[in-house]
Amino acid sequence: MKIENIDLGQRPVMLAPMEDVTDESFRLICREQGAAMVYTEFVSAEALIRDISSTTRKLRVKAEERPVAIQIYGREADAMVEAAKIVEQAGPDVLDINFGCPVKKVAHKGAGAGMLRDIPKLLDITEKVVKAVSIPVTVKTRLGWDAESRIICDLGLQLQDCGIKALTVHGRTRAQMYNGEADWTLIGKLKADPRMKIPVIGNGDICTPRQARDAFDNFGVDGIMIGRAAFGAPWIFNEVRQYLDTGTVTPYSIEEKMELLRRQVRESIERIDEYRGILHIRRHLASSPLFKGIPNFRETRISMLRATTFDELSALLDATERRLLEQEGVTA
């Protein structure tokens, strides 16, 4: 699969953009684990052109994480164009436009998935952004606003006509938020349309290597994107890549997985500071699927969510690793 001249290989698996998750450290780890391309946290066009420091920091990308996309969102064409030009100067491989974020504070202001209620404006913004920059522009969106407006098959063709180089579709409407099961049927229908010439990337509920393979086999997509399943589990890219390439998976040991989580802690602290770094990373750890099989883990999870120092969080991780190893020994 190619996005213009960027070759992502056969059946690429990408890290989805996630606010407060896909910082530079996490992106790099996921690239090392096999993600074909990674996306930044989404960037507000309005905040970017106002030079808000917390927003401009999101534009920092490292050579080791390439190919990398910076994603922007907004509701006014002029602001989106100006933001796109600023992003281009930051040097990403791809500029992605977010027309899919469902959260109220974004969508109800007309940005993100809110654009799905004003398709002419959505298309106008897309066309103007494409013309404003020389790097490839892509779009990430949803099936539609609600069950009565699942318009993605028509919208995909319209976005292609605007000049985008790839389209990612999350298999839910905005009204669904993240509830229920993602519906890939329309994603497959759009991909099968002979008029659709650009890559179609599917997103939604890819949590296992088998689900990843089935998405390619059953719906014919060019690529897939993994979001929430990578939360606290960056090794999923290694497992999916193995399965797609060989049909088998040799999973990491508990120790190897725990070391990846500890690395996230260390690098979060190095990137910010101890207190804020811990605040940022602790909910990632507490949500890790690695801990789901531990009996009566609720109390430890709460302690992780309340930890405020490196020593405190490290002690909890050490104790949790011992429990996992003991459990593995009992199971064996």
- Active site (catalytic) residues: 101
Residue type at 157? L
Q: Name which of 72, 74, 76, 100 is nearest 86 in CA terms.
A: 72
Q: Please, what sign has the CA dihedral across residues 215, 199, 9, 288?
A: negative
Are 67 and 37 a contacting pair, CB within 8 Å?
Answer: yes
Secondary structure, 3-state, the chain? CEECCEECCCCCEEECCCCCCCCHHHHHHHHHCCCCCEECCCEEHHHHHCCCHHHHHHHCCCHHHCCEEEEEECCCHHHHHHHHHHHHHHCCCEEEEEECCCCHHHHCCCCHHHHHHCHHHHHHHHHHHHHHCCCCEEEEEECECCHHHECHHHHHHHHHHHCCCCEEEECCCCCCCCCCCCCCHHHHHHHHCCCCCCCEEEECCCCCHHHHHHHHHHHCCCEEEECHHHCCCCCHHHHHHHHHHHCCCCCCCHHHHHHHHHHHHHHHHHHCCHHHHHHHHHHHHHCCHHHCCCCCCHHHHHHHHHCCCHHHHHHHHHHHHHHHHHHHHHHC
Residues paired with 144 in a beta bridge: 150
Q: Which of 196, 130, 192, 128 is nearest to 158 (CA)?
A: 196
Q: Residue 99 forms beta bridges with which residues?
A: 141
